[in-house]
Amino acid sequence: MFERSREALIHIREALGFAPDWIVALIILGLSATLALGTHSLAMRLLQRMFGKPHSGKSVLAAIGGPTRLALIVLGLSVALPTVPLAPETRGLLVRLLLVTGIGLIGWTAITALNTAATLHLIRFRTDSEDDLQARKHVTQIRILLRIIDAVIITITVAAALMTFEPVRQYGVSLFASAGVAGLVVGFAARPVLSNLLAGVQLAVTQPIRIDDTVMIENEMGRIEEITSTYVVVRLLDLRRLIVPLTYFIEKPFQNWSREGSDIIASVVLYVEYATPVARVREKAKELAEESRLWNRKTFKLQVSDSKENVMELRILLSANSASAASDLRCDIREKLIDFLLQDYPAAFPRRPVPPQSAEQPSAVTPASF
C-alpha cells in the first residue's frame, strides 16, 4: 500500500514539473496530510457507529482521537517525504522534525492508554454513596499512581526527543560526565521533587489518606479533595483550601476520622441541673434518634459523662454513615432535646453559668463537628 502511495505521489510530482520545487513540496505534503485527516475522520465515524453507544465506548473513542490523528499525519508525511523535491538539508530537517514528533506521539499514546484504562477501571466505583470506602481506595490509588507514571513518561519522552539533537546530547553527556559538584547541586535541587514522588508512591500503596477522607491537620478540619503528584488539597469547613505537600502525610502525624470506614460518631453534650430525670431524657433521645433518617442504628448511648459544681454533663453518642450526616444528626438531636426540656422540664437548665472545664480535661473535637 505504501509503495502504491509513493507511486501516486511521484506521478503528481511529474505532473507538477512546471512549478517551482517548493510549491510542489507544499502540494504533495498538503495532499498527504489531507488524505491522512480524511482517513482518520472516516475511521472514527465507523468506530463511532460500531462502539460509540455505551458511555465507555464514547470515552475511549474521544481519548484516542488525538493520538490516532497525529499518527496518521506523521505516517502520511513519512511516506510522502522521499518523493518531495527538496534540498538535502531541508529534507534532513523535516526528517528530524518527524522523528521528534514520533517520539512525542509515543509518549502521548502511552499517557492516553493509561488514562483511558484508569477511567474504564474507575467507572465501576462511585464516591458519592454512603459506604464508599472501597471506591475511595481505588480512586486514590489510581489517581496518585497515574500522575506519577505520567510524570515519568513525560520526562522520558522529553529526554528522548532532546537526545536526537547532537548539540544537546553532547551537552548532556559532558554535564553528567563532570559529576562532582554539578551532580550534587542537581541532586540537592531535585530532592523535594523526588521526595514528593516517592511519598506519592507510599501514599498510593499504604493509603493513610484517601479521596474524600475526613482529616484534622494543623488544627484544621477538612476533607481530602484532591491528591496530585506533589501536594494534597484539603477542603476546610469554611470552604478554604489547605495545600499540603505529600511528604507531610508521611513524615508528620495527623488525624484521619474515616480511615477504616465512613461511619462517624456524633456527640451531643447538654448541661442540666441534677434534678433532671436522666432516664426520661435518655428515652426521649432514643425516640428522636429512631425518628431521624440520619441515624444508622448502630450506636446510641446517653451517659452522665461529668459532674460539676452546679450541673451535670449529659453526652449522647449516635452513629451516622458519613461526617456530613453526623453533623446534621448532631444539630437535629440537640435542637429537639432542648425543645423537649424547655417544654417538659424547664427547670432542667442551669440558672448559673456553667464552670469552665479544667485544663486537665479539655473538650474534645468530635467528627460530627465537620
What residue type is assigned to position 165 of the chain? F
How far is residue 198 from each of residues 118, 136, 148, 153, 230, measured CA to CA in Å? 21, 21, 9, 16, 10
Cell of 233: 488539597
What is the CB neighbour count within 10 angstroms for residue 350? 17
Element (H, E) at 122: helix 88-122
Q: Is the pLDDT of residue 356 over 60?
A: no
225 CB neighbour count, 10 Å cutoff:
14
Q: Which long-range contacts (CB under 8 A, 24 or more apart) does 178-184 make?
A: none
pLDDT tens digits, one per residue of 119-133: 777 777 665 555 556
Specify the pLDDT at position 3.
56
Cβ 223 vs Cβ 252: under 8 Å: no
**C-alpha span between 362 and 370 (Å, rounded):** 19
Tell me how many degrees the CA angle 170-172-178 measures, rounded to the nearest 5: 100
Contact 285, 341 (CB under 8 A): no
Residue ranges and CATH numbers for the domains of the chain are 2-124 (no CATH), 165-261 (2.30.30.60), 264-369 (3.30.70.100)
**9-41: pLDDT as tens digits:** 565 655 655 566 667 677 777 777 888 888 878
Residue 286 has pLDDT above 70, yes or no: yes
Q: Report the Cα 38 to chain-centroid distance in Å.
A: 36
Q: How far apart are the first and last CA of the chain?
A: 66
Q: How confident is the model at residue 72 (pLDDT cuts 50, 70, 90)?
A: confident
Report pLDDT digits (tens) over 53-68.
665 666 677 777 888 8
Name the burial class of residue 324, with classes exposed (0-12), middle (13-18) and buried (19+) by CB atoms within 10 angstroms of its CB: middle
Predicted local distance difference test score (pLDDT) of residue 43: 81
Q: What is the DSSP string of 29-58?
A: HHHHHHHHHHHHHHHHHHHHHHH-SSHHHH
Which one-letter amino acid corresponds to residue 116? T
- Three-state DSSP class for residue 214: strand
Q: How far apart are CA 143 and CA 136, in angstroms?
A: 10
Provide CB contacts within 8 A for 180, sequence distance 6+.
none
Query: Which of 136-145, 146-155, 246-255 shows the highest mean pLDDT?
Result: 246-255
**Which pLDDT value is given to residue 84?**
72
Cell of 74: 506523521
Greatest Cα-to-Cα distance within the chain, rounded to the nearest angstrom: 111
Which has the higher per-residue pLDDT, 75 or 188? 75
Contact 264, 214 (CB under 8 A): yes
Determine the residue type at 49: R
The cell for 228 is 496530585
8 A C-beta contact, residue 67 and residue 109: yes
Indicate the range of 143-147, 152-156, 271-275 predicted with least confidence. Answer: 143-147
Placement of cell 501536594 in the chain: 231
Q: CB neighbours of 100 closer than 8 A, spacing ≥ 6?
A: 161, 164
| Better-scored residue on pLDDT, 302 or 86 | 302
pLDDT for 310:
83
pLDDT of residue 225: 87
Residue 85, pLDDT > 80, answer no
